[in-house]
Amino acid sequence: MNLLPYLTGRIKGAPHETLYWRFGEQWAIRHGDWKLVVGRDGGREPALFNLAADIAESKNLADKEPAKLKELLTLYQAWNAQQAPPSVPDAPPNRRRNRRAA
């Protein structure tokens, strides 16, 4: 699905209720107003945001909203189980070269 018309505002609303991203060890899910992210920068701990109240993703609500955290994690795991393994390596190319040289 082409998301560009939604991003530019030509089409209003959301293309899907749930969107998934995956890049190496990094991944995210957005379900309604909620977004769960696991990124390389913050380690493997998930960060949960309510985008309706915090569009800048500045307040991690993972500890305060354990039920929502579990809901999004379960949705992501079900989707991820149906996908092929990620084709993007976990480490950027410059780090892979350094590992080989060591």
Structural domain boundaries, residue 14: 4-101
* Percentage helix, strand, coil for the chain under 3-state DSSP, each rounded to 5: 30, 20, 50
Q: What is the CATH number of the domain that holds 23?
A: 3.30.1120.10
pLDDT tens-digit series, residues 10-44: 988 777 789 998 887 889 999 999 999 998 665 67
Asked whether the predicted pLDDT for residue 99 surpasses 60, the reply is no
Least confident of 4-8, 13-17, 48-52, 96-100: 96-100
Owner of token pair 């030509």: 10
Considering its fold, how many domains does the chain have in total? 1
Predicted TM-score (pTM) of the model is 0.72
For residues 102 and 94, what is the distance between their CA atoms, to the nearest angstrom?
13
